[in-house]
């Protein structure tokens, strides 16, 4: 299928089958991760060793190296002239670390892919996603997590951290979160399941939406403080906030 757009654009869009190549690379030990990549999803998970898998139509565009205990991953951005290809596949990079690995800092900048982190501890997290979502599963962060998502959602499940998250056009879904966390949503909603085992203090603001706490509508501002070690501050400019 080809779609031709005339006039000022004069571009041709084409969808077609592409040959995908996979790479399996064993890595030396590292304690930091530094990723800056375009058009690929990124996953970090627990496995048996330090390893990386790539799934891409052009794996040569991805540069991988370990320098002074830091894993660096860089990828060239795709360049389009007058012909734009609509891809049917989703390139992905999977980083595997041993269960006993101790990570200091994880920094990921992803221009057009989802980010999944699962099952490990780290000292610091810094994520910037331009057009993808971020999922955190069974993650513990000792110091601070900074997360900025321009056009994606944030999913948090059984995590412990102190964080600051800013979302321009996505939602936040939380199940079991400990620590002191601040969420700022410009055009999305927040839904969180209240953890009976780990009590949380709340300070919630909604400008155009509403706040619901255990099914009850609380208006534009809700404050609940019982001296808990877990604290959530959330501001939503357009969407609603629901604590279930």
What is the chain's pLDDT, residue by residue, as a tens digit (244 residues)?
A: 444 444 444 444 454 556 778 999 999 999 999 999 988 999 999 999 999 999 988 888 899 999 999 999 998 765 544 454 555 678 999 999 999 999 999 999 998 899 999 999 999 999 999 999 999 999 999 999 999 999 999 999 999 999 999 999 999 999 999 999 999 999 999 999 998 889 999 999 999 999 999 999 999 999 999 999 999 999 999 999 999 9
pLDDT at 18: 62
pLDDT at 5: 40
pLDDT at 78: 53
Q: Residue 231 corresponds to which tokens in the numbers above?
A: 């604290």
Which helix H or strand E contains 166, and what residues bound it? strand 163-167
Tell how far CA 86 is from the center of its chain.
Answer: 24
pLDDT at 4: 41
pLDDT at 196: 85
Note the pTM of the prediction, 2 decimals: 0.89
pLDDT at 87: 54
C-alpha pair distances (Å), 20 with each of 23, 35, 55, 131: 10, 22, 7, 22
């Amino acid at each position: 299928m080809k779609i031709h757009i005339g006039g000022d654009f004069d571009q041709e869009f084409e969808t077609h089958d592409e040959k995908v190549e996979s790479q399996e690379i064993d890595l030396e030990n590292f304690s930091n991760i530094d990723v800056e990549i375009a058009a690929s999803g990124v996953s970090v998970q627990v496995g048996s060793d330090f390893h990386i898998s790539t799934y891409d139509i052009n794996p040569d565009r991805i540069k991988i190296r370990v320098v002074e205990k830091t894993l660096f991953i860089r990828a060239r951005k795709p360049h389009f002239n007058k012909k734009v290809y609509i891809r049917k596949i989703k390139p992905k990079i999977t980083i595997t670390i041993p269960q006993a690995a101790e990570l200091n800092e994880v920094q990921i900048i992803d221009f057009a892919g989802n980010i999944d982190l699962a099952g490990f501890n780290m000292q610091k997290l810094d994520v910037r996603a331009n057009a993808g979502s971020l999922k955190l599963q069974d993650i513990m962060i000792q110091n601070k997590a900074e997360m900025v998502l321009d056009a994606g959602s944030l999913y948090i499940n059984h995590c412990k951290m102190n964080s600051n998250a800013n979302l321009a056009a996505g939602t936040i879904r939380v199940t079991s979160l400990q620590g002191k966390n601040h969420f700022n949503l410009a055009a999305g909603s927040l839904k969180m399941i209240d953890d009976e085992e780990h009590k949380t203090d709340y300070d919630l603001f909604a400008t155009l939406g509403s706040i619901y706490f255990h099914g009850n509508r609380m208006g534009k501002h809700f404050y609940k403080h019982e001296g808990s070690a877990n604290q959530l501050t959330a501001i939503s400019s357009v969407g609603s906030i629901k604590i279930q």
